[in-house]
Structure 1
Amino acid sequence: MLDRVLIAIARNARFIPESLLRGLFACAADICWLFGVGGVRQLERNLRHVLGAAGTDNAGISNAGTGTSQSGDVHQAGGTTVSRRRLRQVSRRGMRAYFAYFSEAMTVGARSEQQLRARVRGDGPGLQGLIAYVHDSTGSAPLALGHQGNWDYAGFWAHHALAPVTAVAERLGNQKLLDTFVHIRESLGMRIVLTGQKGITAQLREQLAKPNVVVALLADRDLSRHGEFVTAFGSTIRVARGPATLALDTGLPLYAVNVFRERLHGDQRRKAKSRYGYVCWFEKPIDIDRYRSLPREEAIRAISQAWVDVWAAQITRHPEDWHMLQPIFLEDLDLSRLSDVPDDILAKIAGNAA
């Protein structure tokens, strides 16, 4: 049912007032949040780790071991206790941001180029170096992203501000919905490669061998046999090996990218015709050379840990923009269904169970 609604919205985007659609999606987000459906409970389990790792000392978060906080019930996470009130506040904002993404993605065909340009910008200490490398020169680079903000808008921005974008998209069960998403992303200037193809890594290496290309990978969750276990938010998650593998094999710099919302003002808001836009935040690139002396598998794992460390730091600053509504942390995974689990991870599981 939801798939058909999204497809219908995308096909009729020019006839639907954006403010009306945003309001309807915000209402739907609040209903899901209120009744704990649509992935809300899993989102909150994930956010406990993020908020605990952030260790902020306000809004009902207190030091571990105190038992309670000023706002009532608490949840142990990442060395701090996170209050139920704080968790619910952030999860509500998270669901609203998640639903806002869908309302924006499905109606991108009705937005002018001026509107889109006003709705997204780049920032961060690594941005100017990346522009010089892939836009002003002939370099190419892989980018590691998470399910955060609006990655379709981010792809549009990167296509115009950096270089032509090749992005990997998950193959969905609903072919019509998949075709809709592919069409949306191609209309924004991206070249789409679908998961499940043979030789996908080789295809991406070929793209990166060309001048002025960026390969964007949503890499913060991978439960396949090829996923890499890394430490994040005081726990363990399994991420895609793609960013680390491509960077190691090509020798190109690897950039971790975060995408989060910001409130727009003044002329930018008038051009965007929206109260909110997005920031694509780039830290400085991961130094791949420091890992070349390691055996290949160790190097891939170390590079994966390096980009996750950079990426996770920004997630703790913008937790409401991380749209992770699926199990990702070790505590929530059914390890009996996963293969190639490293011995140290198995030892950690055994230690937790003891």
Structure 2
Amino acid sequence: MTETSARPSLSEQLSSLAYRAGWSVVRRIPEPVAARVFDTIADIASGHGTGPEQLRANLGRVVGDANVTRELVRDSMRSYMRYWSEAFRLPSIAGPELAARVKTGLSDADMERYAAARERGKGVVLVLPHSGNWDMAGMWLVNTFGQFTTVAERLKPESLFDAFVDFRESLGFEVLALSGGEEPPFGHMKKVLEAGGTVCLLGERDLSGNGVEVDFFGERTSMPAGPSRLAQETGAALMPVHCWFTDGGWGLAIQEEIDSSQPLGDMVQQQADAFARNIAAHPADWHMLQPLWFGDLSEKRRHRLGLED
């Protein structure tokens, strides 16, 4: 990994320590105890259903402001904290037995759809939102079909980024840095697809600011074009995926591929439409606590993106 030139701030250092402690400590706690602890943290963080404000605003786009109940906000924060409770335990429990449990949440038709796309030999791009436990789904994929390639945002401080890379590599993922790596991730992912491999990408947050404008739950935002570009340039199948939680288990859907012969913007819009349908079916499991729509961005960020009032 490359080194950052600026000294990490105290808050960044504390954040890194907290996450590293999570991976070290939580796996040693019995699962029922960890679940209760993380539910309690979620209830406190949600103000027992009264906040956070941005989460409530995001859920309002999905279900309507009048339907953002305290119960929904509480359940959403519990879902988010369940992801972390499982993530901190996952390196010590991953394997064929857990993968078999995850598979029960996937239909045979969806599994056959993915297998058929793989067999064409042109690669597969799986694109999904921040919903449920995508790392658990990735663990299942590795144990069933072998390694895939993904991209990680370069977090600060570098020690925190390294911790996330180590976590996902321990599950069998190939992890590329979004920036600052030995080669641009797009070119490496093309090689993976051209060799018949699989790329998995989270696709509803435009981290680069160079995405495609889409309509998402009736408002404008932008989503990354990378998954669609990869499919267009390599002939790989682009398939939306959705993850959600069930009572004591996990749901996973692999959907019909998006036609890559259409214009790039239409592909990204079709991806956004698939995300919207799936998120609307499981709103509490969509872990989006940050501003996403143009209307929620700060004036500085709107100006940087060239957005007009």
2:267 corresponds to 1:285 = no
2:304 corresponds to 1:332 = no
1:30-109 aligned within 5 A: 30-34=43-47, 40-52=52-64, 75=65, 82-83=66-67, 86-109=68-91
Give the Cα–Cα distance (whole angstroms) in 2 for the partners of residues 43 and 191 of structure 1.
31
Give the TM-score of the pair, scaled to structure 2: 0.86
Conserved? CA contact 2:151–2:185, under 8 Å: no
Give the Cα–Cα distance (whole angstroms) in 2 for the partners of residues 125 and 334 of structure 1.
43
Give the Cα–Cα distance (whole angstroms) in 2 for the partners of residues 280 and 126 of structure 1.
9
TM-align CA RMSD: 2.3
Partner of 1:302: 266
Partner of 1:169: 152
Q: Secondary structure at 2:205's aligned position in 1?
A: coil
Conserved? CA contact 1:124–1:281, under 8 Å: no
Q: What are the superposed Cα offsets for residues 78-129 of structure 1, whole Å, 9 maximum, x if unpaired?
A: xxxx24xx43221111100100111110111221524421442233854422
Gap change, CA 1:46 and 1:283, over 3 Å in 2: same
Q: What are the superposed Cα offsets for residues 17-65 of structure 1, whole Å, 9 maximum, x if unpaired?
A: 222222111100000111679x82111100000113xxxxxxxxxxxxx
Which residue identity lines up with residue 21 of structure 1 in the other structure? A
Gap change, CA 1:284 and 1:340, over 3 Å in 2: farther
Q: What are the superposed Cα offsets for residues 261-289 of structure 1, whole Å, 9 maximum, x if unpaired?
A: 112xxxxxxxxxxxx22122111100112
Q: Secondary structure at 1:120's aligned position in 2?
A: helix
In percent, how many aligned pairs have the same letter? 33
Give the Cα–Cα distance (whole angstroms) in 1 for the partners of residues 48 and 244 of structure 2.
26
Q: Which moved more, 1:245-254 or 1:323-332?
A: 245-254
Q: Which moved more, 1:10-19 or 1:230-239?
A: 10-19
Q: Secondary structure at 2:174's aligned position in 1?
A: strand
Q: Secondary structure at 1:254's aligned position in 2?
A: strand
Task: Determine which structure has more spread, i.e. the larger CA radius of gyration.
Answer: 1
Conserved? CA contact 1:256–1:311, under 8 Å: yes
Q: Secondary structure at 2:175's aligned position in 1?
A: strand
Match among 29, 40, 43 for residue 16 of structure 1 = 29
Partner of 1:55: none
Structure 1 portions without partners, runs of 5+: 53-74, 76-81, 264-275, 292-298, 350-354
Give the Cα–Cα distance (whole angstroms) in 2 for the partners of residues 14 and 107 of structure 1.
4
Q: Which moved more, 1:153-162 or 1:186-195?
A: 153-162
Displacement of 1:322 in angstroms is 0.4
Q: What are the superposed Cα offsets for residues 140-180 of structure 1, whole Å, 9 maximum, x if unpaired?
A: 11111111111111111112334421011111103222222
Q: Secondary structure at 1:34's aligned position in 2?
A: coil
Which residue identity lines up with residue 311 of structure 1 in the other structure? F
Partner of 2:276: 312
Q: Secondary structure at 2:87's aligned position in 1?
A: helix
Q: Secondary structure at 1:205's aligned position in 2?
A: helix
Conserved? CA contact 1:101–1:150, under 8 Å: yes
Give the Cα–Cα distance (whole angstroms) in 1 for the partners of residues 26 and 298 of structure 2.
40
Gap change, CA 1:119 and 1:169, over 3 Å in 2: farther
Give the Cα–Cα distance (whole angstroms) in 1 for the partners of residues 260 and 206 of structure 2.
22
Q: What are the superposed Cα offsets for residues 219-246 of structure 1, whole Å, 9 maximum, x if unpaired?
A: 1011433122111111122211111111
Structure 2 portions without partners, runs of 5+: 1-13
Displacement of 1:138 in angstroms is 3.2
1:1-354 aligned within 5 A: 1-34=14-47, 40-52=52-64, 75=65, 82-83=66-67, 86-121=68-103, 122-123=106-107, 126-134=110-118, 136=119, 138-197=121-180, 199-211=184-196, 213-263=197-247, 276-289=248-261, 291=262, 299-334=263-298, 336-338=300-302, 346=308, 349=309
Give the Cα–Cα distance (whole angstroms) in 2 for the partners of residues 333 and 287 of structure 1.
31
Displacement of 1:338 in angstroms is 4.4
Partner of 1:72: none
Conserved? CA contact 1:126–1:283, under 8 Å: yes
Give the Cα–Cα distance (whole angstroms) in 2 for the partners of residues 236 and 147 of structure 1.
19
Give the Cα–Cα distance (whole angstroms) in 2 for the partners of residues 144 and 233 of structure 1.
18
Q: Secondary structure at 2:47's aligned position in 1?
A: helix
Conserved? CA contact 2:113–2:254, under 8 Å: no
